[in-house]
Structure 1
């Protein structure tokens, strides 16, 4: 596992990913979705496990869920679970705010294509 710097500060992260929004970022060859809810910032895989749409095109809600823009599947950002259990959970990545920026922890090697 390795830590990759995504933003220079928490303020920069929150300005680039406003509340109720999400954004795709690259980290160690992986496309990660950074989502922002009232509970903070979260990092998950960017592909919906249902049919593969980019979660970064969706929004978040007050329940700390990210909503897929295609079929409106809702995934809890803390557990990764889909709200009705219709598909596998999201892969989540630890996100950490440090003095010099916001970092995500990802596996050392990129997934096979």
Structure 2
């Protein structure tokens, strides 16, 4: 486990990922979805637990959820829980904004 720098700063990440959007990054061989909401940036595994579609192709909403583009399952980014409890929660990754960049904690 360790912290890996993924952006030069939190501001740079927010500039590259527009509000209500998400992007995919490969970090230590893991595909991670970085989502930008009005509550900030969140990192989750880039695969919907329902059937595996890429969450980075989805959008975020005003409820701080990411919406899967395939079947519209909604996951709360702070907890990872699916809004109706129909599938297991998202795998989440901690993010930390530091003076020298935005870092993600990997589990490998």
TM-score (norm 1): 0.94
2:41 alignment counterpart: 41
Gap runs ≥5 in structure 2: none
- What's the RMSD between the two structures over aligned residues? 0.5
2:81 alignment counterpart: 81
Superposed CA offset, 1:34-57 (max 9, x none): 000000000000000000000000
Runs of 4+ in 1 over 3 A off after TM superposition: none
**2:96 and 2:56 mapped to 1: Cα distance?**
19
Matched, 1:56 2:56: yes
TM-score (norm 2): 0.98
Alpha-carbon deviation of 1:15? 1.0
Count of residue pairs the alignment pairs up: 108
**1:45 and 1:73 mapped to 2: Cα distance?**
15
Q: Secondary structure at the match of 2:66?
A: strand
Superposed CA offset, 1:1-58 (max 9, x none): 1111110011110011110000001111100000000000000000000000000000
**2:23 and 2:54 mapped to 1: Cα distance?**
10
